[in-house]
Amino acid sequence: MATNEAMKPVNLVIFGRQGSGKGTQCAMIITELGSIHISTGDMLRAAVEQGTEFGLQAKAIMDRGELVSDEVISGIVAERLAQSDVTQNGFLLDGYPRTLTQAESFFGILNDLGLTLDLALNLDVPIDEVTTRMLSRGRADDTEEAIARRLDLYEKETAPLFEFFLDQGVFEVIDGLGSESEVFDRLNTVISAVISGKSQ
């Protein structure tokens, strides 16, 4: 993934089941591209700590023990994407959007900020493989039943999103089986094609 000073920042969204190796691949992508890795959890915590408009709203909701709404999450994303490190370096968004409502808001946010999404990547690892990987970690909350529930929720949430991004013409499925370097090579090939297109 060769980059140059004149190249426009690359903006990416990444999906992947728990246990797909997404965290590892995100780290490799941002090292290569210099993009800003934005995960929903980190972004939410930072907004609360910084006392931003939507961070304060999120804190009040969480203090009541309720789930943060799509509107507030999207507001926090908008605040983060508007920051100069993101506009200058591009982003790798991880954990957002999770619902169709969020996806629709996301494209509105990009439009308002004058940004475009280059790719939505789905790191595809079969359910039986990610289940085996998670069970082998030996975590207390990684029982077969708990894993099955989390994966089922992921399937229900993300399946409509894949159709949405496919309709936008930016969706790519990446085979997530193999070594870390093999998977990264596949991601690299797809992202490099986008970089080549942007630099022409």
> What are the residue ranges of helices labelled H in the chain?
22-33, 40-50, 53-63, 70-81, 84-89, 100-113, 127-137, 144-167, 180-199
What pLDDT does 5 receive? 45
For residue 80, tell me if it sits in a domain. Answer: no
Give a yes or no: residue 1 inside a domain. no
Q: What is the pLDDT of residue 200?
A: 65
Please give the tally of structural domains in the chain.
Answer: 1
DSSP secondary structure code for residue 178 in this structure: S
Q: Identify the domain containing residue 190 by its residue range.
A: 12-38+90-199
Position 78 in a domain: no
- 26 contacts 93 by C-beta, under 8 angstroms: no
In a domain, 82, yes or no: no
The residues carrying an active-site annotation are 22, 98, 137, 139, 150
Residue-level pLDDT at 189: 96
* CB 174 within 8 Å of CB 123: yes
pTM of the model: 0.88
Residues of the chain with pLDDT under 70: 1-7, 199-200
pLDDT of residue 139: 82
Which pLDDT belongs to residue 1? 52
Before 97, cis peptide (omega within 30)? yes
29: Cβ–Cβ under 8 A, 6 or more apart, which residues?
Answer: 12, 14, 35, 37, 92, 184, 187, 191
Dump pLDDT digits (tens) for 64-118: 988 889 999 999 999 999 999 999 999 999 989 988 999 999 999 999 999 999 9
Q: Tell me whether residue 125 is in a domain.
A: yes
- CATH number of domain containing 155: 3.40.50.300
Q: Is there a domain that residue 148 lies in?
A: yes
Does 51 fall in a domain?
Answer: no
Which residue reads 């995960």 in tokens? 39
What pLDDT shows up at residue 2? 46
On whether residue 44 sits in a domain, the answer given is: no
Q: Which of 163, 136, 134, 139 is nearest to 151 (CA)?
A: 134
